[in-house]
Amino acid sequence: MKSIVYLHEIADEDRERVGGKSLALAAMARDRMNVPDAACITAEVYTDYVTTTGLSERILLELGRKDFEEMRWEEMWDASLRIRNMFLNTPIPIRLSAILRDAIEGRFKGKAVVIRSSAPGEDSARASFAGLHESYVNVTGTDSIMEHIRLVWASLWSDAALLYRQELGLNFEKSTMAVLVQEMVVGGESGVAFGQNPNDESQAVIEAVYGLNQGLVDGTVEPDRWILDRKTGEIISHSPAHREKAILPTPEGVRPEPLTSTEVDTPPLDGKRIQKVFDLALGAERLFGAPQDVEWTFSRDLLYVLQSRPITTRRTGEPTDNRAWYLSLRRSFQNLKTLRRRIEKELIPAMVEEAQSLSRQDAAKLPDMELAAEIARRSQIHERWVKIYWSDFIPFAHGARLFGQVYNDTVRPTDPYEFIDLLGSTNMASLERNRMLEEMAGMIRENPRFAESLRNQKKDFDPGFTKVLGEFMERFGDLFQGLAQSTKQREAICRLLLEMASRAPTDEGRRSKDVEALKNNFLSHFEGEQKGEAAELLDLGRASYRLRDDDNIYLGRIERQMLAAIDEGRRRIENRDALDAKHISTKELVKTLEDPSYVPKRYHTAKRATSDDELKARQLVGQPAGPGIAKGKARVILDPSDLFDFKSKEILVCDAVEPQMTFVVPLSAGIVERRGGMLIHGAIIAREYGLPCVTGVPNATSLIHTGDEVTVDGYLGIVVVG
**Which spans of this chain sit near other proteins (rule: CB under 8 A)?**
51, 54, 56-57, 60-61, 63-66, 173, 609, 611-621, 698-699, 702, 716, 718
State the nearest-atom distance from the C-beta of 687 to other proteins, in Å.
23
Q: How far is the CB of 70 from other proteins (least distance, A)?
A: 11
CB nearer other proteins, residue 240 or residue 698: 698
Q: Please, which residue, 28 or 620, has the CB nearer to other proteins?
A: 620
Report the alpha-carbon distance of residue 277 to residue 619 in Å, rounded: 60
Q: Smallest distance from the beta carbon of 642 to other proteins, in angstroms?
A: 22
By C-beta, is 157 or 554 nearer to other proteins?
157
- Nearest Cα to Cα of residue 118 among 7, 184, 213, 40: 40
Cα 526 from Cα 535, distance rounded (Å): 10
CB 6 within 8 A of CB 26: no
**CB 482, min distance to other proteins, A:** 28
Q: Which lies closer to other proteins via its Cβ, residue 477 or residue 698?
A: 698
Residue 532's alpha-carbon distances to 96, 285, 526, 537, 590, in angstroms, are: 38, 47, 9, 9, 55
Nearer to other proteins, 543 or 704 (CB): 704
The DSSP call for residue 330 is S
Cβ nearer to other proteins, comparing 661 with 697:
697
Rounded CA-CA distance 510/514 in Å is 8
Shortest Å distance, C-beta 631 to other proteins = 17
Residue 608 Cβ, how far from other proteins at the closest point, in Å? 8
CA 269 to chain CA centroid, nearest Å:
37
Strand ranges, E, within 69-218: 113-118, 135-139, 178-183, 189-194, 203-210
Shortest distance, CB of residue 708 to other proteins, whole angstroms?
13
14: number of Cβ within 10 Å: 20
* Smallest separation (angstroms) from other proteins to the CB of 640: 24
Residue 4 vs 653, nearer CB to other proteins: 653
- Cα–Cα distance for residue pair 506/635, rounded to 1 Å: 20
Q: Residue 521: how many CA atoms within 13 Å on its side-chain side? A: 15
**CA 3/CA 23 separation, integer angstroms:** 16
Rounded to 10°, the helix 486-501/448-455 angle is 140
Q: Based on CB atoms, which residue is closest to other proteins, 365 or 618?
A: 618
Q: Least distance to other proteins from the beta carbon of 613, Å?
A: 4
Sign of the Cα torsion 249, 81, 416, 553 reads: positive
531-534: long-range contacts (C-beta < 8 A, 24 or more apart)? 533/333, 534/406
Give 587 or 616: the residue with its C-beta nearer to other proteins: 616
